[in-house]
Amino acid sequence: MVISLELPSELENELSTEACRLKLPLAEYILRVLAFRPFLQNPPRTGVELLAYWESVGIVGSRPDITDSQEYARRLRDQAEHREQV
């Protein structure tokens, strides 16, 4: 479905800025925002519900290159603790 929409310039700029920050085309970013709306209306209340949501949207298992998540987290933490301050 194709929908043409006239956005206020402030909203267009805000959406464009966020899309650029995420390195996404504006149309794809807007689709993601709209798709995320049901989650905001009925957020998970337990860890089990959150995990089920993550599995349903493909987050769980999305990084097959990470074979040991705890070791990966330790490396990230170590990098963050030892990065140079600007």
* pLDDT single digits (tens) 14-35: 999 999 999 999 999 999 888 8
pLDDT of residue 86: 65
pLDDT of residue 73: 95
Residue 22 in contact with residue 29, Cβ under 8 Å? yes
pLDDT at 12 over 80: yes
Average pLDDT over residues 50-58: 88
CA distance 61 to 55: 8
Q: What percent of the chain has pLDDT over 70?
A: 98
The candidate with the shortest Cα–Cα distance to 17, out of 5, 26, 8, is 26
CB-based contacts of 26, cutoff 8 Å, min separation 6: 15, 16, 19
* Structure confidence by residue, pLDDT tens digits, 59-78: 888 888 999 999 999 999 99
Rg (CA), the chain: 18
